[in-house]
């Protein structure tokens, strides 16, 4: 592969039928590029959770993925409500998901903790009323 490959995605808000499309596409591309299954699995889980969060909590947004032989960098950006207390949001089991979302099986409060667990670096920048950007890196 070339030194760097960049993939970008628009994530529609509130469309659960399409949620997960971006992470599926990245998973497929990483397979084609021959990355090892564990790396692909970590990227796919972390990105899926971030993508779902954008749909559930932030009315969608955009994702940029930079792929190099050494690392996969994901940047998930939205113009949602922002996260008031990032430390609290990172705790296992913390969720503000409404009942209609919980009935679909989301809202266990495990997305952000798993994103942290499956990546080598993770940074959340958020401003109330402005939006949230989550940056994650998986080393190969
Ligand atoms: N992009 C975002 N914009 C605004 N709030 C967010 C965003 N991502 C997460 N949050 C807040 O952080 C909380 C915890 O997120 P997390 O992904 O861990 O759990 P969840 O999405 O509620 O449930 P689960 O991911 O287990 O289905 C959310 O309930 C929400 O309050
Ligand atoms: Mg979540």
* Domains of the chain and any CATH numbers: 5-139 (3.30.565.10)
H helices present in 1-140, as ranges: 21-33, 37-58, 86-89, 99-102, 111-118
> How many angstroms is it from 96 CA to the middle of ligand 1?
7
* Digit-coded pLDDT (tens) for 60-69: 999 999 999 9
pLDDT band for position 17 (cuts 50, 70, 90): confident
- Give the nearest ligand 1 atom to 131 CA: 3
> How many Cβ atoms sit within 10 Å of the Cβ of residue 125?
14
Instruction: Specify the pLDDT at position 18.
Output: 82
pLDDT above 70: residue 2: no
Tokens found for residue 59: 């009315």
> How many angstroms is it from 91 CA to the middle of ligand 2?
12
Question: Is residue 101 in contact with ligand 1, taking CB distance under 6 Å?
Answer: no
pTM of the model: 0.96
pLDDT above 80: residue 33: yes
């Amino acid at each position: 592969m070339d030194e760097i490959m960049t993939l970008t995605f628009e994530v529609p808000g509130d469309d659960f039928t399409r949620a997960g499309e971006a992470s599926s596409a990245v998973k497929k591309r990483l397979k084609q590029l021959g990355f090892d299954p564990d790396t692909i699995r970590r990227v796919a889980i972390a990105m899926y959770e971030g993508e779902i969060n954008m749909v559930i909590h932030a009315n969608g947004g955009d994702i940029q993925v930079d792929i190099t032989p050494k690392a996969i960098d994901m940047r998930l950006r939205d113009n949602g409500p922002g996260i008031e207390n990032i430390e609290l949001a990172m705790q296992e089991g913390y969720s503000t998901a409404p009942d209609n979302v919980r009935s679909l099986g989301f809202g266990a409060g495990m997305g952000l903790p798993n994103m942290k667990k499956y990546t080598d670096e993770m940074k959340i920048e958020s401003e109330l009323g402005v939006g949230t950007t989550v940056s994650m890196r998986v080393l190969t």
